């Protein structure tokens, strides 16, 4: 992320992050990297990926990761991401982000979804 910001600067930040996300990151590269990882994790949870990697993927601004007053990050969906979540029945989201030593990681979980598929009475391994 650091190299991408150095190369493309504010143009990249405006394309990938909402104004509120840019404000929350306060110019810290590690914060941008963690939010990018969270956006990618949400896109994967929605089963479509990001638009830059898949035609049917979600746009960067369709997923917004913002902290509450305690600093806990929350997922906010709009546009195609919100519609995809609605279709899948995904209603609640939890996100955890961390960064250290040049790495950023995010884990996303969603509650809801389609009913489980009927499994055959015999499972073959």
Using the predicted structure, report yes or no on whether residue 40 has a pLDDT greater than 50. Answer: yes
Residue 117's pLDDT band (boundaries 50, 70, 90)?
A: low
Residue 41's pLDDT band (boundaries 50, 70, 90)?
A: very high
88 contact partners, CB below 8 Å, separation of at least 6: 46, 47, 112, 113, 114
pTM for this model (two decimals): 0.84
Range in 9-13, 46-50, 52-56 with the lowest mean pLDDT:
52-56
- Residue 118: phi, psi to the nearest 5? -70, 125
Question: What is the C-alpha separation between 18 and 15, in angstroms, rounded?
Answer: 8
Residue ranges covered by each domain of the chain: 2-112
pLDDT average, residue stretch 67-91: 94
Class of domain 2-112: alpha beta
- CA-wise closest residue to 54 among 31, 33, 80, 93: 80
Tens of pLDDT, residue by residue over 91-100, are 999 999 999 9
Average pLDDT, the chain: 88
pLDDT average, residue stretch 3-18: 92
28 contact partners, CB below 8 Å, separation of at least 6: none
Position 122 scores a pLDDT of 44
């Amino acid at each position: 992320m650091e190299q991408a910001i150095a190369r493309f600067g504010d143009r990249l930040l405006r394309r990938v992050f909402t104004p509120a996300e840019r404000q929350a990151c306060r110019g810290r590269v590690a914060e941008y990297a963690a939010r990018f990882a969270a956006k990618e994790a949400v896109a994967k949870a929605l089963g479509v990926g990001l638009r830059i990697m898949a035609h049917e993927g979600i746009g960067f601004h369709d997923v917004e990761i913002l902290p509450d007053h305690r600093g806990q990050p929350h997922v906010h969906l709009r546009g195609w991401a919100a519609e995809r979540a609605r279709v899948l029945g995904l209603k609640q989201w939890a996100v955890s982000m961390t960064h250290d030593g040049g790495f950023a990681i995010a884990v996303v979980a969603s509650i809801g979804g389609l009913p489980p598929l009927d499994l055959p009475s015999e499972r073959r391994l």
